[in-house]
């Protein structure tokens, strides 16, 4: 199993010799205007350029779109990915949107969905501070639904859990307890909008995951590229050093974690 950090939540997972592109955000640096209510009001996104050519990034066997927010699936991805590529969506609504881009093989994640020997299990997310979900996404006029994914195969000794855009809540602990993942990928830039708290994990959430999964390796993803982030790689590295957390990995863009 390999996890290659591409940029933000975009990654390539190699599992049972199949390559999955996760949440392709392929826009050029500084394409997105500063986000209203951001803690970094002048910061455009993505903050960094892609470290690999797009042609190499989209050279995969399948795509997984955990949801369709601007930093998880964009117009450049829609234009760059082959229209015959299998794409897994979280639900019928997102599947319909992807079909509108012209993709001909859109599949809905289940429990499980099967892909060439790999079982994909959809898991729950809470993409906002609990209690603020409906108010926040009504204000910004976006869907707030998102999902995570567990990868499992008889050809892989380890299980992988991509938690997705979520904060710590009972859906995350349920997934950990159900699947006992060996590797857990967390989106943990603690992104947020003024007045609504965080919409993805921060340090306290990482701590809860580490406590709930004491034998798992945890990978910090979704880092250093969104303008509404409150947490950066340097902060997580300092946290890991402070608590001597050798099982907390913080890969740079382009870096591969192999298991």
Using CA atoms, how far apart are residues 232 and 229, in angstroms rounded to an integer?
7
The answer to whether the CB of 171 falls within 8 A of the CB of 124 is yes
Mean pLDDT of the 131-154 span? 92
pLDDT one-digit tens code per residue, 216-236: 999 999 999 999 999 999 999
Q: What is the pLDDT of residue 139?
A: 86
pLDDT one-digit tens code per residue, 145-163: 999 999 999 999 999 999 9
H or E stretch covering 107: strand 106-108
Range with the largest mean pLDDT of 29-38, 57-66, 194-203: 57-66
Mean pLDDT of the 190-196 span? 91
Quick one: CA dihedral 100, 186, 140, 34, positive or negative?
A: negative
Q: What is the pLDDT of residue 138?
A: 87
Provide, rounded to the nearest whole percent, the portion of the chain with pLDDT above 90: 90
The answer to whether the CB of 178 falls within 8 A of the CB of 144 is no
CB-CB neighbours of 32 under 10 Å = 19
Domain holding 91, by residue range, is 2-258
Q: What is the pLDDT of residue 37?
A: 85
The answer to whether the CB of 92 falls within 8 A of the CB of 108 is yes
**Residue 111's pLDDT band (boundaries 50, 70, 90)?**
very high
Q: Given a cut of 90, is residue 194 above it in pLDDT?
A: no
Q: Given a cut of 90, is residue 26 above it in pLDDT?
A: yes
Tokens, residue 117: 């020997």
CATH of the domain at 218: 3.60.15.10
CB-CB neighbours of 75 under 10 Å = 12
Q: What is the pLDDT of residue 13?
A: 98
Mean pLDDT of the 182-199 span? 94
pLDDT one-digit tens code per residue, 74-106: 999 999 999 999 999 999 999 999 999 999 999
Q: What is the pLDDT of residue 49?
A: 96
Number of domains the chain is built from: 1
Provide, rounded to the nearest whole percent, the portion of the chain with pLDDT above 70: 100
């Amino acid at each position: 199993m390999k996890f290659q950090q591409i940029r933000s939540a975009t990654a390539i997972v190699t599992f049972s010799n199949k390559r999955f592109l996760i949440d392709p955000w392929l826009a050029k640096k500084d394409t997105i205007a500063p986000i209203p209510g951001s803690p970094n009001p002048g910061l455009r996104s993505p903050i960094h350029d892609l470290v690999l050519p797009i042609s190499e990034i989209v050279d995969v066997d399948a795509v997984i779109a955990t949801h369709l927010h601007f930093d998880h699936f964009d117009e450049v991805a829609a234009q760059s990915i082959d229209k015959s590529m299998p794409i897994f969506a979280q639900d019928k609504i997102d599947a319909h949107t992807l079909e509108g881009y012209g993709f001909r093989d859109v599949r809905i994640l289940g429990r499980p969905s099967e892909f060439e020997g790999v079982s994909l299990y959809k898991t729950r997310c809470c993409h906002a501070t609990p209690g603020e979900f409906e108010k926040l996404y009504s204000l910004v006029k976006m869907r707030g639904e998102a999902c995570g994914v567990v990868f499992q195969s008889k050809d892989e000794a380890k299980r992988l859990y991509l938690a997705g855009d979520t904060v710590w809540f009972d859906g995350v602990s349920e997934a950990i307890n159900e699947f006992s993942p060996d590797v857990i990928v967390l989106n943990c830039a603690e992104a947020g909008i003024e007045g609504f708290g965080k919409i993805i994990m921060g340090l306290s959430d990482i701590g809860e995951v580490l406590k709930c999964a004491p034998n798992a390796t945890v990978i910090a993803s979704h880092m250093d590229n969104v303008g509404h982030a409150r947490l950066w790689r340097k902060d997580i590295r300092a946290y890991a050093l402070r608590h001597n957390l050798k099982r907390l990995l913080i890969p740079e863009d382009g870096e591969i974690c192999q298991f």
